[in-house]
Structure 1
């Protein structure tokens, strides 16, 4: 598959920084919002960036390992939560409605047949993955189909005028897949990647770690082959997100990254094509144990730290107004010259 991502031109960066620095404020007074304004302008290669028709795509899929003791919840909760999304009752529905974010739910591999619904896209590759404690989670064909479908979903919303996109997920057991991918691709010890997920107690986390160590031992995985890692221990919703990250970067969209699982998908995409990272804004640092290590491995600074560990894209949705604030101050706030305000000496 092709991963041709445009390299961004650095020529615009000093112009963006000058525009930020000459607004009617002390240098750096808007903190991370200043960095955010520069990054969005850099992604869009313009001094007047805009957030147009933001979309949230929530990818859902089941994991064969879910019934092996890695989660506090049974596998059927994936289906139940997707129905909750479609009924408008989940956190992601509330936050998307609050902030004017269009929402789509993508069935990447839920272990159930879902009825047609205006919010639902049926992109099912399989009824969940295989149990990676016994065999590879996906076949080569399934993994490639999921990647290709993720690209299609992004291309579809981009064609509607969307230039800013975020990805959420739902899949019981997917913090385990994310932890394994993180371990393989970053080299961080597995015990630093594994957390409570949906609410395991200390004994549950210990059991989860033992099971994931078994999986890591079963599959010969390395950072040099991210596709094989994704195929062997990933999830259909994660693979679809990887394709979505690649396509969004190819289309030069602003990508708002959610928490632990979404960041794991971003990590795989960055290993496949490092330029993807330039298009990514990391919304928050999750309370899931391994996320801070993943953030450090990627070398990025998240916008928020709210102790979130829900997934669904909830952190990305909550952060979306910060992107609006960043572009609005860059475009609407007066400069010292325009306002007739004296600058600090030396500026």
Structure 2
């Protein structure tokens, strides 16, 4: 597979055809039910078909991007960094929450090592795309160089291109990285303009004192690095993470390749936010899986321009919300294929006067 650079992917993104969306909705409206009575399921079906041209999913894959974060030195997480490679090994072994929910959804899980401070043996379901072993401590300087940020994005873009070649027509995002709610909150603050305290929450379950420290760390990071909201690559480089960059590239690449992408929670949405800031029509291809309990998530979703499909008070990441949301897209498409029209079912349309 030939390498696809960032600008090429951006140039390939097109808006979804509004006329096609209207045609699909007209088909839904002809079915034997009151118009709009299946609520957002109708939206999911309409958008999926308009993007792909198909009313059935052939293959689903969830990519869980992993990376370590130097900012853990600041005490922003309840867990040590060693948990990142331990959880990656659990993903590969099939024993994590994302594995269970992906099996339920009929989706394959692929783990992508973007920057874990560990050397993994080759394994089924593992992609090594390591940009570095750990990001810099963003409280004291940039998380990575601009060149590394572009490498992260292009790694995700190449994965999307591979999905297109293999006929994958629904992609999900996930994450693993101890400390990664801190860069995600920093990204949220940059693009929404909100204070750090309004987009930062407990992550792995830190107490009040640790949360107050986490807010101060993000404030220092924004002051020290001065990320430019008009330059999404600069934001990723200054206050992002390797796995967040990979997610951003995957979302951007899916938009370029015409593949709907189900974006998981807070960290995945930070990646999707970077992608949508790189090109406004990225949002046409994004299905926001769920609303995280992380307080900054709603503001990020609003900036991306998508409403969450679910609100289950989840905050795990890994792609778990995305796996569940995939089942809703599949259910919506079954409705589209199998519900008869009023004429075919012999049902009268509305009441006679």
TM range (shorter): over 0.9
- Post-superposition Cα deviations, 1:287-306, rounded to whole Å, max 9, x if no partner, equal 11211222233332111100
CA contact (8 A) 2:102 2:323 kept: yes
Query: 2-side partners of 1:252 and 1:346: how far apart?
Result: 44
- Per-residue deviation at 1:32? 1.1
1:102 & 1:233 partners in 2: Cα distance? 30
Question: CA, structure 1 residues 340+120, in 2 after alignment: closer, same or farther (shift >3 Å)?
Answer: same
Tell me, yes or no, if structure 1 residue 83 matches structure 2 residue 51. Answer: no
**2:310 alignment partner, SS class:** coil
Runs of 4+ in structure 1 off by over 6 angstroms are none
Retained in 1: the 8 A contact 2:192–2:299? no
Length-normalised TM-score, structure 1: 0.97
**Matches of 1:272 and 1:283, distance apart in 2:** 21
Q: Is 2:322 aligned against 1:325?
A: no
Q: Which runs of 5+ in 1 are unaligned?
A: none
Deviates more, 1:312-321 or 1:150-159: 150-159
Q: Is the 8 A contact 1:13 1:42 kept in 2?
A: yes
Q: Deviations over 1:286-335 (max 9, x none)?
A: 11121122223333211110000000000000111110111111111100
1:1-347 equivalences under 5 Å are 1-2=6-7, 3-4=10-11, 5-44=13-52, 46=53, 48-345=54-351
Matches of 2:268 and 2:227, distance apart in 1 = 20
Instruction: Name the SS of the counterpart of 2:127 in structure 1.
Output: strand
Range moving further from structure 2, 161-170 or 297-306: 297-306
User: Do the aligned partners of 1:67 and 1:74 also contact (CA within 8 Å) in 2?
Assistant: no
Q: Please, what is the CA RMSD of the aligned residues?
A: 1.4
Structure 1 stretch displaced more, 103-112 or 129-138: 129-138
* Structure 2: tracts of 5 or more residues without a match: 1-5
Shift of 1:175: 0.5
Q: Work out the CA distance in 2 between the residues paired with 1:8 and 1:300.
A: 15
